[in-house]
Amino acid sequence: MDKQGHKIGLLGGSFNPAHEGHLEISLTALERLGLDYVWWLVSPGNPLKSDNDMATFEARSKSAEKIINDPRIIVSDIENKLNTRYTVDTLIKLKEIHPEHHFIWLMGADNLAQFDQWKDWQIIANTVPFAIFNRPRYCKSSLNSIAAQHLENYRIDEKDADRLYNIKPPAWVYCFDNKNPLSSTEIRNKN
């Protein structure tokens, strides 16, 4: 990657396992947000989830690598290398390491519904713009969530999603076109 700076979507998660829903969000983000890349930030551990049924970091990274079908989507172990466990810490360090890039945080609507439980969620919102992708069953609860209500004045229209990278945070967009209901929890429960 050159020093001119790229538009990079960051999709963090446990990827326990990675699935078509992660891929759909990533491909939609590349198109709708005009991104150059999407980095899948495989978390060494999610503070909001139990480690009881968590596969190893290596197994989760491999499941992510296997599902990717686009060279613009890159599985990253940066949180492992940076020794960060919280999104806020990862974002601050990434911006320090790569000031030339335009980062956008990507997440499913289910995460927006509980975003106010994340460590320093308001700092996250003020660090990078973010894009929310529809998840069936979560649209109403996510848009009525504490974080969404708090940040409502900073929400941009979906038709302007390709400008998000260039808007000073806080700034966010809700993309309604994702329909994939898959979740890692449901996949694990079926096995």
* CB neighbour list of residue 183: distance below 8 Å, 6 or more residues apart: 19, 21, 110, 135
**49 occurs within a structural domain:** yes
Residue-level pLDDT at 53 = 78
- Residue 118 is assigned to a structural domain of this protein: yes
In a domain, 129, yes or no: yes
Residue 66 counted as domain residue:
yes
Q: Where are the alpha helices (DSSP H) in the chain?
A: 20-32, 57-67, 78-82, 87-97, 109-113, 121-127, 139-143, 146-150, 184-190
Confidence band, pLDDT 50/70/90 cuts, at residue 138: confident
Mean pLDDT (the chain, rounded) = 89
* Domain with 56 in it: 7-190
> Do the Cβ atoms of 131 and 167 come closer than 8 Å?
no
Residue range 88-104: average pLDDT?
97
What are the φ/ψ torsions at residue 172 (nearest 5 degrees)? -155, 160
Asked whether residue 145 carries a pLDDT value surpassing 70, the answer given is yes
Comparing CA positions, the residue from 174, 169, 171 lying closest to residue 127 is 169
pLDDT reported for residue 106: 98
In a domain, residue 33? The reply is: yes
Contact 161, 116 (CB under 8 A): no
Mean pLDDT of 67-94: 95
Report the range of poorest mean pLDDT among 79-88, 101-110, 155-164, 179-188.
Answer: 179-188
User: Is residue 1 assigned to a domain?
Assistant: no
Residue 142 located in a structural domain: yes
> What is the pLDDT averaged over residues 79-93?
95
Half-sphere exposure of 98 (CA within 13 A, CB side): 16
Residue that the structure tokens 């996949």 belong to: 187
2 within domain boundaries: no
Is pLDDT above 70 for 157? yes
User: What CATH number has the domain bearing residue 100?
Assistant: 3.40.50.620
Per-residue pLDDT, 129:
98
**Number of structural domains the chain divides into:** 1
For residues 187 and 19, is the Cβ–Cβ distance under 8 A? Answer: yes
